[in-house]
Structure 1
Amino acid sequence: MGRNHPADPAATLAQGIAALGLPLDAAQQERLLAYLALLVKWNQAYNLTAIRHPLAMVTKHLLDSLAVQPYLYGTRVLDVGSGAGLPGIPLAIADPAREFTLLDSNGKKTRFLLQAKGELRLSNLSVVHSRLEQYRPGQLFDTVTARAFASLADMVAGTAHLLAPGGSLLAMKGEYPQDELDALPPGFVVREIIALTVPGLEAQRHLVRIAPDV
């Protein structure tokens, strides 16, 4: 944590949201804190994340996810391998006009996601328990996000069939992923690479937007 950050999750979240320039109201911030409380509670039994301290979760989970919001495209967003709901749940709270689908193959994690959806009353969020290669939605997605994919090549191979025409893949990465960019298969193009600034986080964050080369 940076020395300028207050040692309180609510204050840290409010300060971070202001630094990101996101127009989240008090009710949305309360929902984010309610999600944080659920994550802390369920993490004790379900091991959803290696990060245990609520204050660290605010920076490394909530603000890290919210930093992606300005780069979403279209109305339908798929979060692949959502795990504990990152970035999908914070984005669904911050962006109620969009529809979010959270996909994960782990039954314990999807049970948590369903619990969070109900308790937080997220009507714009759906949870799907399925392996990625078996998932065939009735409607394709404008944006596909992934936070924990092994590589960009794996992401495009596994998710390109889920994109609507004109849609984009948004891969959340740490350091600039030059080796992964070099290994992208033919048929895809990198539209942009954004260096993200996550309030309170000193580590590098990059967002890679990839689209089919059509």
Structure 2
Amino acid sequence: MAETLWQRQLREGLAEMQLSLSDEQQQKLLAFLALLNKWNKAYNLTAVRNEGEMVSRQLLDSLSILPWITTDQLLDVGAGGGLPGIPLAIVFPEKRFTLLDSNGKKTRFLNQCVLELGLDNVEVIHGRAEDCRPEQPFSQISSRAFTALDNLVGWCGGLLANGGSFLAMKGQYPDDEVAALPAGWQVSSSHSLKVPGAGGERHLLIVARAEQSR
């Protein structure tokens, strides 16, 4: 069988990012993308409509933060169409992922993904971050195109464990958002992300509680 455009883009993108994934993982990533593309027509899950851009802007973009995933249990807030949570869960089957979104259509889509892709390591929660009451706080919380940093720490700070950090995915470096962070929070590091095939800037900001002065 001839290689499809998505298969080629994923294979070449992973090679450029120096990521080695099994055939099964690559197939699951592409199956997820097909679901996202199908449901997007009715549910408006993502603004990316051009099928030629989906591998880069959705799969590879999500996988660009892999080196900074250090926890065994990650919360993805404003999970929307499952980015980056679903691709990360496919790559890390041994880790647990909780996907939180307040939009019922989006959580229905996420539950369908979990079912069809057999993702036993994913839990989907329909609700607002402010109302979420997990059994224990999370050491890492990811967010992609969810909200400004001050809202992120305000709404989700209570879900973050002591010593934990937010993994905030942004486009251009958000100087205004960083300046607006409330007292007690800081950007502990920032990283320019290289996403094969994607135009424009991409950044990952690690946001954590400021260390208490002794």
Task: Give the TM-score range, shorter chain.
Answer: over 0.9
The share of aligned pairs that are identical, in percent, is 51
In the alignment, structure 1 residue 207 sits paired with structure 2 residue 204:
yes
Trace 1:75-86 onto structure 2 (pairs within 5 A): 75-86=72-83
For residues 133-212 of structure 1, the aligned pairs below 5 Å read 133-212=130-209
1:116: how far off? 0.2
Q: 1:65 — aligned with what?
A: 62
Residue identity opposite 1:191 in structure 2: S
**Which runs of 4 or more aligned residues in structure 1 lie more than 4 Å from their structure 2 counterparts after TM superposition?**
none
Amino acid at match of 1:11: R
Q: Output the TM-score relative to the length of structure 2.
A: 0.94
Root mean square deviation, CA, Å: 1.3
Return 5+ residue gaps in structure 1 as ranges: 1-5
Q: Please report how far the alpha carbon of residue 149 of structure 1 lies from its aligned counterpart in structure 2 after TM superposition.
A: 2.6
Q: Give the deviation of 1:47 after TM superposition.
A: 1.5
Distance 2:151 2:4 in 1: 38
Question: How far did residue 54 of structure 1 move?
Answer: 2.5
Q: Unpaired runs of 5+ in structure 2? A: none
**How many pairs align?**
209
Q: Which runs of structure 2 are paired with 1:13-52 in the superposition (5 Å)? A: 13-52=10-49
After TM superposition, the structure 1 stretch with the greater mean CA deviation from structure 2, 68-77 or 28-37, is 68-77
Report what 1:88 is aligned to.
85
Aligned to 2:102: 105
| Counterpart for residue 3 of structure 1 | none
DSSP-derived class of the 1:59 partner:
helix
User: Do 1:73 and 1:167's aligned partners in 2 also have CA atoms closer than 8 Å?
Assistant: no
TM-score norm. by structure 1 comes to: 0.94
> In the alignment, residue 109 of structure 2 is paired with which amino acid?
F
**How far is 1:55 from its partner?**
2.4
* Separation in 1, partners of 2:51, 2:137: 35
**C-alpha offsets along residues 79-116 of structure 1, whole Å, 9 cap, x if unaligned?**
00000001100111111121100000010100000000
* In 2, Cα distance between equivalents of 1:124 and 1:165: 24
- Alpha-carbon deviation of 1:159? 1.1
